[in-house]
Amino acid sequence: MKTHLVFLEIAKTDLRAAKCLFCQKLYPQSVFHLQQSIEKAVKSFGIWNKIISETEARNAVGHKAWKVYSKTLSGFKKKVVELEKFLETSPRLKKVRFMKELKLAEMKNNLDNFQRMSLDEYGWDASFSKKELKNIIKEIDRLKAKLRRKITVNVNASEKEIDDFKRRFYEFLDTLHEINPSIAGKLEKSKNEVGKVTPRLMIDSLKALIEFLSRFIVCSISLFYLSLVFSPHAIRTRYPEDSSPLQVYNDKMPLVQMLGSFIRITKETLENLDYVYASKVN
C-alpha cells in the first residue's frame, strides 16, 4: 500500500479512538487522538500532493502539521508570482481569455491573507476562544455548502459553446507554440484530443472535474484550519505543564465544548480524501 494511503488508514483509526474517548468523557485523550488523526491526514495529503517527502513527514514535520501548509502556500505563491512576471513579457498570452480568468492578483492577495493566519501569529501557547472556534467551524461548513451548490448547478453545453471552447483552446495552444516551438508535438496531441470533444463528454467531464476540485478545496481548507487548531495539543494533552491535562481538558474548555463538531469535520475530511485519491480526474 502506498504511504499516503497508509497514513490515511492510521488517521481513520485515530479518529475512531477520538470518538470513543469523547463518549467516555476522556477529553485529553480524545483531543490527543483527534490531533493525531489530523496530523496523519495532513501528512497523507502532503505526500500525495508531493509537497513533502516521506522522510519529511516522519522527521521534519513532526507534530507541527502546519509546516506542510507553510511550505505549500510559499511554493504556490512563488509559482503565481513567476507566472505573473512571465505574462508581463508575453503581451499576447496575457490577453488570452484563459489567462484573464486566472485572476492572479486576486489569487496572490488570498495567499497573503492565508499566510498571515500562521501559528507564528498566534503562538504555540495560544488557545482559541469558543467564538473563534465557532467561526472556524462555520467557515468550513459555509465553504462546503457553497461548493456543493456549485456541483448541483446544471452544466449544459451546446454545439456552439463546444466550438467556442475549441476555438479559444486552440488560440491558447497557438500562442504557447509561438513562445516555445519545441513543444509542438505535445500541442498537436492536445489539439487532437480536444477535437474529439462532444457536448455529452464535455458535460460529464466538467461535472467530474467540479466534483474533484470541490472536494480537493474542502480538504485543503479543512486540514488547514484543523491543523491550526489542534497542532499545539500534541504535547499538552499528555504531559503536565503548569497544571495537569486532566484539569485543563474539561467540559468548561472551549475546545472540548466544540470537540463533537471537530470530530464530524475530520470524519468528512477523511471521506473526501478517500474520494480525491480514488478519483480518475487526478
Whether residue 39 contacts residue 234, with contact meaning beta carbons closer than 8 Å, is answered with yes
CA 157/CA 268 separation, integer angstroms: 32
Q: Which pTM value belongs to this model?
A: 0.71
Domain membership of residue 45 as a residue range: 3-278
Average pLDDT over residues 133-144: 91
Q: Which of 135-139, 150-154, 181-185 comes out lowest in average pLDDT?
A: 150-154
The structural domain count of the chain equals 1
Q: Is 232 helix (H, G, I), strand (E, B) or coil?
A: coil
| Residue-wise pLDDT tens digits, 82-92 | 666 766 666 65
Spatial CA neighbour of 201 closest among 252, 162, 147, 149? 162
Average pLDDT over residues 44-67: 74
| pLDDT class of 234 with cuts at 50, 70, 90 | confident
Nearby residues of 214 by Cβ (< 8 Å), 6 or more positions away:
147, 148, 150, 151
C-alpha torsion 66→70→76→81, nearest 10: 160
CA 7/CA 215 separation, integer angstroms: 19
| Residue-wise pLDDT tens digits, 247-282 | 889 999 999 999 999 999 999 999 999 999 998 656
For residue 41, which amino acid is it?
A
